[in-house]
Amino acid sequence: PAEDEARIDDIKRLLKVHNAVLVAHYYTDDAIQQLAEETGGCVADSLEMARFGARHDADTLVVAGVRFMGETAKILSPEKRVLMPTLEATCSLDIGCPADEFSAFCDAHSDRTVVVYANTSAAVKARADWVVTSSIAVEVIEHLQARGEKILWAPDKHLGGFIQRKTGADMVLWDGACIVHEEFKAKGLEDLKALYPEAAVLVHPESPASVVALADVVGSTSQLIKSAKELASNKLIVATDRGIFFKMQQAVPEKTLFEAPTAGTGATCKSCAHCPWMAMNVLDNLAGALRDGSGEIFVDDTLRAKALKPLERMLNFQR
């Protein structure tokens, strides 16, 4: 629509005026991903978003995604202004892991190395030895396991369980889940597989173990897009937020992509997987943030210094 086009032009202009760059996650709206692409920003998974923001020399980072992504950007780049289209966009994993309860859990397992998923608050990260995203979680745990360390993992029990099964590491798990990925159903996936036996199944590891068990590939959003290109199959069934289809279809225009079946609690459609918090990022509030500086992220200095250490370990980690 014409009003979207006017808004897009406005955002492009404001990005220049503020020497700002747009960093968007694959789960945000197509229009936002396209804008990030066209304006020299990035569309990426959580780890790449963090790396891109930290390296970029813009004065302002506009982070389209959910709150932990903005907080991570601010922790890594305190000198930059970090704006988000809305500060309301949270994550069920973050909500399900309050810092005080988490701290008590750590105290109860003080002999363990604390590894937290990036989908957590700055306060939870501040209590951790390591932060990881799904793209390097297995490698980091293998590294710690080789050093003989026992692990406390939080908050995603499905990702934690996946890592545990894959590595055999000694891990205690926090009981959290992503409300989007938890809805994928093994039965529905098996039925779809029966219709398209030649299709490959790509699954994000925040999904339940029964769904992961049916996967040909398990990985972060970027890893799933990469494997969509590499897999020989021309039909792909994808179990992650449907926002990923924008870039995945661009990457494999000749292939047919199917959404893995869910129980039907999508944010904008009844039977699709779509994160309600990612969906809060729209052109209107993105323009608003740039125009009036709303949605600015601040992180307390003491917390920031503490959360920076485990985040830097992640960014500096090399196998």
Give the type of residue at 262.
T
Give the type of residue at 185.
K
Q: Determine, following the binding rule CB under 6 A, whether residue 66 of this chain makes contact with ligand SF4.
A: yes
Helical packing angle, 301-316 and 67-76, nearest 10°: 90
Evaluate whether 54 touches 47 at the Cβ level (below 8 Å): no
Instruction: Please return the burial class of 286, using the count of CB atoms within 10 Å of its CB with bins 0-12, 13-18 and 19+.
Output: buried
Cis peptide before 155 (omega within 30 of 0): yes
Contacts of 24 (CB under 8 A, 6+ apart): 32, 33, 35, 36, 41, 42, 43, 44, 49, 63, 64, 65, 281
* In the chain, beta strands by DSSP E: 20-25, 42-44, 60-64, 81-83, 113-117, 130-132, 151-154, 171-173, 200-203, 217-218, 235-239, 256-259
Q: Determine, following the binding rule CB under 6 A, whether residue 241 of this chain makes contact with ligand SF4.
A: yes
x/- mask, ligand 13P, residues 77-116, rule CB under 6 A, reads ----------------------------------------
Q: Which of these ranges, 76-84, 124-132, 186-194, 272-280, lies near ligand SF4 under the rule CB under 6 A?
A: 272-280
Q: Determine, following the binding rule CB under 6 A, whether residue 69 of this chain makes contact with ligand SF4.
A: no
Q: Assign 181 to helix, strand or coil.
A: helix
* Sign of the dihedral through C-alpha 275, 158, 206, 130: positive
The gap between the terminal CA atoms of the chain, to the nearest Å, is 48
By CB under 6 A, how many residues form the interface with ligand 13P?
11
Find which of ligand 13P, ligand SF4, none residue 133 binds, CB within 5 to 8 Å per kind: ligand 13P
Instruction: Please return the burial class of 255, using the count of CB atoms within 10 Å of its CB with bins 0-12, 13-18 and 19+.
Output: middle
Q: Determine, following the binding rule CB under 6 A, whether residue 179 of this chain makes contact with ligand SF4.
A: yes
Q: Determine, following the binding rule CB under 6 A, whether residue 45 of this chain makes contact with ligand 13P.
A: yes
Q: Determine, following the binding rule CB under 6 A, whether residue 178 of this chain makes contact with ligand SF4.
A: yes
Kindly tell me which of 91 and 201 has the beta carbon lying closer to ligand SF4: 91
Taking CB under 6 A as the criterion, which residues in 150-179 touch ligand 13P? none
By CB under 6 A, how many residues form the interface with ligand SF4?
14
| Closest separation in Å from C-beta 104 to ligand 13P | 25
| Closest separation in Å from C-beta 221 to ligand 13P | 4
Taking CB under 6 A as the criterion, which residues in 9-28 touch ligand 13P? 25, 27
How far is 91 from 101, CA to CA, in rounded Å? Answer: 17
Evaluate whether 203 touches 218 at the Cβ level (below 8 Å): yes
x/- mask, ligand 13P, residues 130-149, rule CB under 6 A, reads ---xxx--------------
Q: Determine, following the binding rule CB under 6 A, whether residue 92 of this chain makes contact with ligand SF4.
A: yes
Q: Determine, following the binding rule CB under 6 A, whether residue 260 of this chain makes contact with ligand SF4.
A: no
x/- mask, ligand 13P, residues 202-241, rule CB under 6 A, reads ------------------xx--------------------
x/- mask, ligand SF4, residues 96-135, rule CB under 6 A, reads -----------------------x----------------
Residues near ligand 13P (CB under 6 A): 25, 27, 45-47, 119, 133-135, 220-221
Site of interaction with ligand SF4 (CB under 6 A): 27, 66, 91-93, 119, 178-180, 206, 241, 275, 277-278
